[in-house]
Amino acid sequence: MIEEEFDAVVIGAGMSGNAAAYTMASLGLNVLQLERGEYPGSKNVQGAIMYANMLEKIIPDFRDDAPLERHLVEQRLWVMDDTSHTGFHHRSDHFNEAKPNRYTIIRAQFDKWFSRKVREAGATVLCETTVTELVRDARGRVIGVRTDRTGGIIGADVVVLAEGVCGLLGTRAGLRSMPKPETVALAVKEMHFLPEELIEQRFGLNGDEGCVIEAVGTISRGMAGLGFLYTNKESISLGVGCLVSDFAAVSESPYALLEGLKNHPSIRPLIAGSEIKEYAAHLIPEGGYKAIPQLFGDGWVVVGDAAQLNNAVHREGSNLAMTSGRIAAEAIVQLKRRSHPMTKRNLSLYKVMLDNSFVVKDLRKHKDMPALLHTNSSNFFTTYPQLLSQAAQSFMRVDGTPKIDKEKATTAAFVKARSRWGLVSDAIRLACAWR
Ligand SMILES: Cc1cc2nc3c(=O)[nH]c(=O)nc-3n(C[C@H](O)[C@H](O)[C@H](O)COP(=O)(O)OP(=O)(O)OC[C@H]3O[C@@H](n4cnc5c(N)ncnc54)[C@H](O)[C@@H]3O)c2cc1C
């Protein structure tokens, strides 16, 4: 029996669910949002860099009251071996603009704020409520959900699945398959608390300025992975993630990798004296374009991480989540206003709109990159970082060896490690995947 009817039910109060619920409610739809966590954000993990442009398209004046940590003025990209890092750094005073482009955030606080906006827009938000089942009619159309609160059905014209990468509803209902170990990364993260002034001193920051470091190399022990350090106001988020299939194939634990990162001579001084208050682990969808499942059907759409909409190459996820949630909501509102039913055919509008957005265009651009890095992970994450470090040290050390001999020795080291053909083949494959 249907207990109550809504225009839309949104499952999950993460970035994608909040974006969808806010957009639909503020455009006049009767929306119910269900979240299994004690409060929005209690189950969610992110580094976390938040990209302002995508939130501005949903809540233009978000800077007035959103809990933002630091706006980013500096990005460091490091290639590490066991004792050193070689980096590309970009810092610009242009990032000290009136409306900064990227901020660090703490998801538990940010999601609570976003959820308050969803309520203010008119949606009904119920936490501590797990959706246990998608309900379908005799023709297979999704017509509502069941929760762990009551036995009855909550009816909806359309159900927005924003249940995150681990979401079981869509997979159990056969709407998409379980993510494969080679298309999801397992990331672990710690929060290191330090006095505000010490963080500013260590990273050369003024006021709310922030700096982030992202690193690849021997820290991932030959697996395809990434380490990160993000500065918040009074804490540093430090984490590392690698593909689940790689963890399964080697005997490294995620925690051991994080310990290795913390004790690396380039990282240790940056977190020295900190108090660790939180440890979290979460999956990240990293299969790229080829892993995107069916995005819509009769009475349902799927958004955010649940739809594998995550750009591992550029380390973006929350912005794809917010954008897919907003676009799905806008498509639904368009259909509603034209009194078009939420059929598979009509909801294909969501995919058309998403295909035209940066979300799918960016994922399609690097569609072969995740698989390439995985296949050749020990070359890209161990051999080349070590060779790069040796080359940089040889170049910088002034010891009376003629430069021509150093260049020959560096070339010989690369050829010895990978052979000429191996080097050319890696370079071609990398260029093809990047193009
Ligand atoms: C360690 C780490 C670092 C990251 N760093 C960054 C970063 O710096 N920048 C960036 O842009 N992205 C980053 N990401 C990715 C980003 O966190 C995700 O892309 C984003 O959170 C996806 O949002 P979402 O709403 O799709 O899913 P989620 O945020 O996971 O939200 C899903 C929600 O659904 C709820 N839910 C699930 N099942 C049910 C159910 N049956 N009933 C009710 N509720 C349910 C969950 O409790 C959860 O609240 C990072 C991810 C990780 C793990």
Closest by CA position to 110, among listed 162, 39, 177, 161: 39
Q: Hey, which of 10, 23, 36 would you mutate to test ligand 1's pocket, going by the most ligand atoms within 8 Å of its Cβ?
A: 36
Read off φ and ψ for residue 103, nearest 5 degrees: -130, 155
Task: Report the alpha-carbon distance of residue 67 to residue 105 in Å, rounded.
Answer: 7
- Residue 8, preceding bond cis, omega within 30 degrees? no
**CA-CA distances (angstroms) from residue 317 to 15, 150, 263, 285?**
9, 33, 28, 9
Q: Distance from the CA of 107 to the center of ligand 1, in angstroms?
A: 9
- Hey, what are 193's tokens? 């608390």
Closest by CA position to 262, among listed 187, 214, 186, 190: 190
Q: Can you tell me which atom of ligand 1 is nearest the CA of 317?
A: 19
Q: Distance from the CA of 167 to the center of ligand 1, in angstroms?
A: 10
3-state secondary structure of 400: coil
Q: Distance from the CA of 96 to the center of ligand 1, in angstroms?
A: 28
CB atoms under 10 Å from CB of 429, counted, come to: 15
Check residue 370 and give its pLDDT.
66
Q: Can you tell me which atom of ligand 1 is nearest the CA of 307?
A: 26
- DSSP secondary structure letters along 10-34: EE--SHHHHHHHHHHHHTT--EEEE
Q: Can you tell me which atom of ligand 1 is nearest the CA of 18?
A: 25
Q: Distance from the CA of 318 to the center of ligand 1, in angstroms?
A: 7
Task: Report the alpha-carbon distance of residue 75 to residue 267 in Å, rounded.
Answer: 15
Task: Report the alpha-carbon distance of residue 138 to residue 243 in Å, rounded.
Answer: 40
The answer, yes or no, to whether any atom of ligand 1 lies below 6 A from the CB of 130, is yes
Closest by CA position to 186, among listed 336, 286, 279, 119: 286
* For ligand 1, atom 35: residue with the closest CA: 12
- Hey, what are 24's tokens? 């639909």
* For ligand 1, atom 21: residue with the closest CA: 318
The answer, yes or no, to whether any atom of ligand 1 lies below 6 A from the CB of 163, is yes
Q: Using an 8 Å Cβ cutoff, are 121 and 18 in contact?
A: no
Please report, as a single letter, which amino acid is at residue 302.
Answer: V
* For ligand 1, atom 12: residue with the closest CA: 317
Instruction: Please give the torsion angle defined by the CA atoms of residues 386, 390, 396 and 397, in that order, rounded to the nearest 10 degrees.
Output: 140
Q: Distance from the CA of 317 to the center of ligand 1, in angstroms?
A: 8
Cα first-last separation, the chain? 54
Q: Using an 8 Å Cβ cutoff, are 283 and 43 in contact?
A: no
Task: Report the alpha-carbon distance of residue 387 to residue 328 in Å, rounded.
Answer: 46
- E strands of 256-364, at which residues? 275-285, 296-297, 300-302
Residues of the chain with pLDDT under 50: none
DSSP state, residue 64: G
Q: Using an 8 Å Cβ cutoff, are 284 and 185 in contact?
A: yes
Give me the helix-helix angle, 358-365 and 344-355, nearest 10°: 70
Q: Distance from the CA of 12 to the center of ligand 1, in angstroms?
A: 9
Task: Report the alpha-carbon distance of residue 188 to residue 184 in Å, rounded.
Answer: 13
**What's the chain's length in residues?**
435
Check residue 41 and give its pLDDT.
82
Closest by CA position to 377, among listed 257, 222, 263, 250: 222
Closest by CA position to 284, among listed 363, 226, 364: 226
Q: Can you tell me which atom of ligand 1 is nearest the CA of 283?
A: 53
DSSP state, residue 168: -
Q: Can you tell me which atom of ligand 1 is nearest the CA of 285?
A: 19
Q: Distance from the CA of 45 to the center of ligand 1, in angstroms?
A: 6
Q: Hey, which of 284, 308, 320 would you mutate to test ligand 1's pocket, going by the most ligand atoms within 8 Å of its Cβ?
A: 284
pTM as predicted: 0.95
Instruction: Please give the torsion angle defined by the CA atoms of residues 289, 44, 301 and 308, in that order, rounded to the nearest 10 degrees.
Output: 10
Task: Report the alpha-carbon distance of residue 160 to residue 285 in Å, rounded.
Answer: 19
User: Which residues does residue 133 pair with via DSSP β-bridges, in sequence order?
Assistant: 146
Q: Report the Cα 233 to chain-centroid distance in Å.
A: 21
Task: Report the alpha-carbon distance of residue 113 to residue 127 in Å, rounded.
Answer: 14
Check residue 155 and give its pLDDT.
97
Task: Report the alpha-carbon distance of residue 16 to residue 307 in Å, rounded.
Answer: 10
Q: Distance from the CA of 14 to the center of ligand 1, in angstroms?
A: 6
The answer, yes or no, to whether any atom of ligand 1 lies below 6 A from the CB of 389, is no
The answer, yes or no, to whether any atom of ligand 1 lies below 6 A from the CB of 49, is yes
